[in-house]
């Protein structure tokens, strides 16, 4: 079908986060030429909100004091980009504005419960005006400032799209917000943010965005709105609270969404730098299950906003960026300044390198759909992320299904489903799992809530009497005869175990695959003396893995948090256990890969090809060197009735060999440096 809209085609996006003090040095033609040289075909630039980058006539719109007085810089930029067929997306941020506006319109600003405003950047050095947070329910973010600003730009300039930065509502205790809370929920607003209704801030944000979206469409209906989507609930120390909206609700007031995968190395290794598969997960979480629209993946070039004027280590930066296209997303670069002011030239070199790799993949990826082996039910929390890590390191291609949107028909398309700890209790999940298993699906359920396990005992294949246990150390998971396949490639009868167990008993007909070996000593004396290290009880009938058949399918229940073991210890045995459970349930996988666990695998399919992506992140994080991986082997099941006409590399042009063998195609890829895509072409 012929594309009608520019934003439905291939895109490589560059966002220049402009600094007002650099305005005088901006040469529109030079910036546009350098952007074209980086192989970007969409540019995002500051236009309005915090600063107007044009001579705005809207009252209270803070105009950039450094703008040239005798020419229209914004028009020059747009014209220069358009001359090179680069689309121009205008960035607006209405979340803060300056103190002169506050003095004249104090009712527009967010308030703490003591009525004081939220100051932003008041300790910043230099001759700057003071900024304050605006209220999402106020006139500034709606009809009195934001709406006329958007309409002014749309009428005056030939922009191609609008991006709303920082659209989330602040926790505001102003009278307008208090009145709205009372009207919505029928009770007074709580005095503490933690006691707000969970949907309150999200509702305020969406109400505000709806007003802005309608204004855009009324003025120029063909201009798309791009919105942030937060796919994670970051719950490691110091991260703060982020409300996680429904992706489907976001699309109700936007044409496109973007996720953000910031590799915040400035947290430090001990502070919890993001997981290796962070970007892949953001792309998968930002994708609707119909795959109709690809999400943008914003990748900041810096190792944290406190170091925003230098770049990530290039060896870390390259695969982090490559995860976006390899996971079905659209890469959106974010840099501070523009090429002339970016003194760390490694940033620009890496951006250009990845964009040119993407160009090579675009034709093959046109119309491609995910071809995953498993679906991971997703709530964004630590357990879900750990399971994603476990599947990734076992080279099991997977998709995500949001816990708030369980689509039974879509679920049934996968041979395997994973239900991480905490997800089974979500609305509709247990019922969907039971139907899925009866119809032939295979499921792994992790659940540590004894009450929830008791309620779902029939689904899990256990007796209803389930009791919560204490946290155990110095203990083990022992493989039973029925679970012999779980110790494949592990020449041991047991593996390390730590954590709480929901004590349960298998129901009639269920098989116990693994049991608990209880602690052999209190933790403080495990090593003293070694003469007393004998295990007093080497066998119990307390299950740690139970398999139940129901209808045409099977389910494995884990009454402990395997995800916590992965997250905290990252032992190879626990990763291997995940791979072995999958093989026990599924048998021979559609795609089998022999490669280091540091190589990420995703797979897509078109009418003419299978497309297998390999992203190499080998090395200690943060990566300091690119360490090529050699001799990767992959075996892909060929659809019945189809013939392989060729196998080729697309991105890095590496060498490979292949042969068909009993309904499969076996491939050996000589090397992957950063990112390679193999196309398996069918007749």
Q: Looking at residue 232, what is its pLDDT?
A: 59
Q: What is the mean pLDDT of the chain?
A: 94
Percent of the chain with pLDDT over 90: 87
Q: Looking at residue 173, what is its pLDDT?
A: 97
Q: Which residue has the higher pLDDT, 18 or 228?
A: 18
Q: Residue range 521-550: average pLDDT?
A: 94
pLDDT at 237 over 80: no
Q: Which residues of 112-150 are buried (b: 16+ CB within 10 A; e: fewer)?
A: eeeeebbeeeeeeeeeeeebbbbbbbbbbbbeebbbbbb
Integer Cα distance of 16 and 36 in angstroms: 13
Note the pLDDT tens digit of each residue in 457-489. 999 999 999 999 999 999 999 999 999 999 999
Which candidate, 363, 557, 324, 525, places its Cα nearest to that of 454? 557
Q: Residue range 582-591: average pLDDT?
A: 96
Q: Looking at residue 234, what is its pLDDT?
A: 47
Q: Which of 112-121, 200-209, 217-226, 241-250 has the lowest mean pLDDT?
A: 241-250
pLDDT at 315 over 60: yes
Q: Looking at residue 241, what is its pLDDT?
A: 35
Q: Looking at residue 292, what is its pLDDT?
A: 80
**Neighbouring C-beta atoms of residue 413, cutoff 10 Å:** 12
Cβ distance 550 to 443 under 8 Å?
A: no
Note the pLDDT tens digit of each residue in 626-681. 999 999 999 999 999 999 999 999 999 999 999 999 899 999 999 999 999 999 99
Note the pLDDT tens digit of each residue in 81-91. 999 999 999 99
Note the pLDDT tens digit of each residue in 413-469. 999 999 999 999 999 999 999 999 999 999 999 999 999 999 999 999 999 999 999
Q: Looking at residue 129, what is its pLDDT?
A: 86
- pLDDT-based confidence at residue 3 (cuts at 50, 70, 90): low
pLDDT at 125 over 50: yes
Query: In terms of DSSP H, where are the helices of 394-449?
Result: 408-411, 429-438
CA distances from 411 to 373, 391, 423 (A): 12, 17, 15
Q: Which of 86-90, 117-121, 150-154, 291-295 has the lowest mean pLDDT?
A: 291-295
**Neighbouring C-beta atoms of residue 8, cutoff 10 Å:** 15
Taking only Cα atoms into account, the Rg of the chain, rounded to an integer number of angstroms, comes to 27
Integer Cα distance of 628 and 529 in angstroms: 46
Q: Residue range 333-361: average pLDDT?
A: 97
Q: Which of 1-15, 210-224, 523-537 has the lowest mean pLDDT?
A: 1-15
Note the pLDDT tens digit of each residue in 41-95. 999 999 999 999 999 999 999 999 999 999 999 999 999 999 999 999 999 999 9
Q: Which residue has the higher pLDDT, 418 or 232?
A: 418
- pLDDT-based confidence at residue 550 (cuts at 50, 70, 90): very high
């Amino acid at each position: 079908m012929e594309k009608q809209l520019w934003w439905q085609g291939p895109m490589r996006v560059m966002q220049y986060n402009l600094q007002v003090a650099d305005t005088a040095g901006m040469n529109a033609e030079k910036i546009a030429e350098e952007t074209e040289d980086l192989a970007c075909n969409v540019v995002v630039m500051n236009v309005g909100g915090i600063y107007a980058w044009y001579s705005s006539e809207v009252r209270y719109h803070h105009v950039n004091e450094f703008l040239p007085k005798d020419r229209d810089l914004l028009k020059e930029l747009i014209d220069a980009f358009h001359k090179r067929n680069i689309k121009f997306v205008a960035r607006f941020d209405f979340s803060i504005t300056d103190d002169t506006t506050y003095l004249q319109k104090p009712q527009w600003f967010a308030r703490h419960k003591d009525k004081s405003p939220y100051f932003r950047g008041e300790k910043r050095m230099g001759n700057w005006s003071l900024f304050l947070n605006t209220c999402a329910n106020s006139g500034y973010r709606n009809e009195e400032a934001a709406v006329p600003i958007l309409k002014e730009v749309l009428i005056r300039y030939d922009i191609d799209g609008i991006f709303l930065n920082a659209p989330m509502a602040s926790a505001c205790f102003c009278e307008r917000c208090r009145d709205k809370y009372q009207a919505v929920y029928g009770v007074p607003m709580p005095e503490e943010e933690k006691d707000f209704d969970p949907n309150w801030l999200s509702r305020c944000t969406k109400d505000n965005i709806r007003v802005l979206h309608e204004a855009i469409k009324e003025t120029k209906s063909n201009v798309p709105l791009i919105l942030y989507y937060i796919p994670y609930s970051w719950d490691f120390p110091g991260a703060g609270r982020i409300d996680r909206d429904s992706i489907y609700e976001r699309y109700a007031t936007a044409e496109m969404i973007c996720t953000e995968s910031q590799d915040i190395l400035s947290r430090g290794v001990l502070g919890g730098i993001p997981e290796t598969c962070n970007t892949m997960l953001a792309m998968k979480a930002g994708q609707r299950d119909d795959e109709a629209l690809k999400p943008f993946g914003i990748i900041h070039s810096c190792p944290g906003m406190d170091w925003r004027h230098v770049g990530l280590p290039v060896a870390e930066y390259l695969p982090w960026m490559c995860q976006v296209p390899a996971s079905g997303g659209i890469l959106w670069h974010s840099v501070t300044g523009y090429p002339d002011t970016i003194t760390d030239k490694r940033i620009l070199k890496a951006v250009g390198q990845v964009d040119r790799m993407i160009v090579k993949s675009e034709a093959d990826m046109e119309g491609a759909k995910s071809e995953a082996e498993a679906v991971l039910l997703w709530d964004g929390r630590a357990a879900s992320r750990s399971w994603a890590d476990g599947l990734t390191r076992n080279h099991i291609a997977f998709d995500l299904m949001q816990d708030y949107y369980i689509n039974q028909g879509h679920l049934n398309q996968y041979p395997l489903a994973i239900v991480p700890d905490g997800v089974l209790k979500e609305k509709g999940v247990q019922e969907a799992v039971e139907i899925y298993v009866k119809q032939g699906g295979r499921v792994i359920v992790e659940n540590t809530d004894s009450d929830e396990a008791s309620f779902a005992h029939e689904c899990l294949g256990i007796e209803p009497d389930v009791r919560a246990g204490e946290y155990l150390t110095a203990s083990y998971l022992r493989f039973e005869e029925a679970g012999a396949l779980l110790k494949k490639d592990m020449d041991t009868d047991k593996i390390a175990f730590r954590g709480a167990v929901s004590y349960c008993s298998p129901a009639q007909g269920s098989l116990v695959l693994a049991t608990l070996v209880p602690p052999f000593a209190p933790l403080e004396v495990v090593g003293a003396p070694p003469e007393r290290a004998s295990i007093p009880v080497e066998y119990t009938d307390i299950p740690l893995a139970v398999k139940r058949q129901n209808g045409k399918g099977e389910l494995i229940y884990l009454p402990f948090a395997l995800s916590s073991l992965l997250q905290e210890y990252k032992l190879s045995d626990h990763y291997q256990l995940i791979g072995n459970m999958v093989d026990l349930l599924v048998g021979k996988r559609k795609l089998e890969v022999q490669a280091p666990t540091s190589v990420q695998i995703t797979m897509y399919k078109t009418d003419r090809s299978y497309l297998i992506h390999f992203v190499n992140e080998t090395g200690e994080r943060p990566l300091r060197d690119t360490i090529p991986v050699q001799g990767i082997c992959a075996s892909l099941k060929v659809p019945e009735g189809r013939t392989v006409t060729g196998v080729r590399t697309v991105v890095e042009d590496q060498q490979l060999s292949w042969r068909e063998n009993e309904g499969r195609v076996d491939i050996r890829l000589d090397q992957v440096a950063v990112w390679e895509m193999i196309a398996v072409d069918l007749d």
